[in-house]
A and B are shown apart, each in its own frame.
Chain A
Amino acid sequence: MSRYTLDCRRLLCPMPVIRVQDRVAELQPGDELEAICTDPGALNDIPAWCRINGHRVLEAGERDGEYVVRLRVGGET
Chain B
Amino acid sequence: MQRKAVALVSGGLDSMLAVRVIQEQGIHVEGINFFTGFCVEGHTHAIRKRDRKKPKRNNALWVAEQLGIKLHIIDIVEEYKEVVFNPKYGYGAHLNPCLDCKIFMVRKAKEWMESHGFDFIITGEVVGQRPKSQRKDTLPVVQRDSGIGDLLLRPLCAKNLPPTLPEREGWVDREKLYDFSGRTRKPQMALARRFGIEDYAQPAGGCCFLTDEQYSVKLADLWRARGAKQYEMDDIMLLKVGRHIRPAPHFKLIVSREEGEGRFLQGYRGRYPSLKTVSHAGPLALIDGEVNDEELALAARIVARYSQGKSASEVELEFRDTQGDTRLLKVAPLPPHELNPEWML
A: residues with CB less than 8 A from B are 10, 12-15, 17-18, 21, 39-41, 44-45, 48-49, 51-53
Contacts and interface: CB of A to CB of B under 8 A. Distances in A.
A51 B61 CA distance: 10
A10 B73 contact: no
Nearest to B57: A44
B73 A12 contact: no
Interface string B33-54: 0010001011101110000000
Q: Select the residue from B45, B58, B71 with max chain A CB neighbours within 10 A.
A: B58
B64 A52 contact: yes
11 contacts: A13-B41, A13-B43, A13-B46, A14-B39, A17-B61, A21-B72, A40-B46, A41-B42, A45-B61, A49-B73, A53-B70
Contact of B45 (A14, A17, A18, A41): A41
A18 B35 contact: yes
Interface of B: 35, 39, 41-43, 45-47, 56-58, 60-62, 64-65, 68-75, 237, 267
Main SS at interface, chain B = mixed
Contacts of B73: 14, 17-18, 21, 49
B58 A14 contact: yes
Contact of B43 (A12, A17, A52): A12
Contacts of A48: 57-58, 61-62, 65
Nearest to A41: B42
A23 to B, nearest CB: 13
Nearest to B55: A44
Contacts of B47: 12
Nearest to B46: A39
Contacts of B72: 21
A12 B237 contact: yes
B70 A41 contact: no
B58 A17 contact: yes
Contacts of A12: 41-43, 46-47, 237
Given A10-B267, A12-B42, A15-B75, 17 more contacts: A12-B47, A13-B41, A13-B43, A13-B58, A14-B39, A14-B42, A14-B61, A18-B74, A21-B72, A44-B58, A45-B58, A48-B57, A48-B58, A48-B61, A51-B65, A52-B68, A52-B70
A23 B164 CA distance: 36
Given A14-B35, A15-B35, A44-B56, A52 B71 contact: yes
Given A40-B46, A41-B45, A49 B237 contact: no
Q: Which 7 A-B pairs have the closest CB atoms?
A: A41-B42, A48-B61, A13-B42, A39-B46, A45-B58, A12-B43, A52-B64
A18 B64 CA distance: 15
A45 B62 CA distance: 9
Contacts of A53: 70-71
A51 to B, nearest CB: 6
B177 to A, nearest CB: 26
B5 to A, nearest CB: 17
A41 B56 contact: yes
A6 B75 CA distance: 17
A52 B46 contact: no
